[in-house]
Structure 1
Amino acid sequence: MAIRVNDFTINIATANGTGSQSANLIILHSMYEMGVPVSGKNLFPSNISGLPTWFIIRASDAGYQAPGDHTHIQVMMNKDTWEKDLNNTEPGTVIIYNQDVKLPVERDDCVVLPMPMTKMARSISPKMAKLMANMYYVGAIAHILKIDQGAIEAAVSNQFGG
């Protein structure tokens, strides 16, 4: 994968009804708050809870709003699309995944970052774990991209009304 500056794509694979839309918008809005030219697109074949959904975020100094040709950060949260998402991931991609899904990610040509997202969320609130697990990939992306803490806090406050 060629080195690009100020043009990258994040692909977040989740399931409908898991609270991922809130998490995805927090990433999008926090980047926007920092002045990053960014766009987001939600791709979902159905509004039925549990079916696959992908949220694509593209940051582009050129102002491109369509998804990029390559995914630079792949978030994997959905066991039903796991194999397809993994097979579509190009060498050099950063893969952030919920290791509690207990499916393999055997890619030595990518940067693989497993996180026990569901387990960590359950330790805070078993009742809300399904919805909270997504916030862990928000934190991972914020750390990797060095998203400003103030921008994240503002986006969280805006998203959850507090």
Structure 2
Amino acid sequence: MFIAETERLILRRFEAKDVESLFLLNSIPEVLTYIPGAPMTCRSQAEDILENVLLKNYRERGFGRWAVEHKADNKVIGFCGPTYIKEFDEVELGYRYLPEYWGKGIGSEAGHAALSRFKDHGIDEAIALILLGNKGSEGVARKLGMAERERSKFMGHKVNVFHKVL
């Protein structure tokens, strides 16, 4: 399902055809430097995330992380979108991209497009939970107009909580 489009990107719901992209995105140690958990080691882990997290969120909440497809190469290069964080009782804008797309403005381009669709789902505020030291993600949050609200803990890690009223 189509969500949004920018000059370079298409944001859409994840589908079964995206399992390989999900596996790649979650198996590269460099990508996971600031992500709690170990890298995926087999495709079945990506299939499980697709079915039991992404598709489940779409069914139960009507929203979830969205695939970010790069128009120039028709490739899913990451994700950007909302997910409900029970521990904070808030909706987070999360984003993650393959390293070859870092530093090209993809994060803020996708982030603006994603945030523009939050109200369609009744979401009036967004947070970003960013592990300490992740300056790249903090830079994206700031470019999206998010402000640092507090320092907290999430999944046993110290995080900076960024916030924006939409």
> Same-fold call, TM > 0.5?
no
Higher helix share: 1
The two structures have a TM-score, normalised by structure 2, of: 0.31
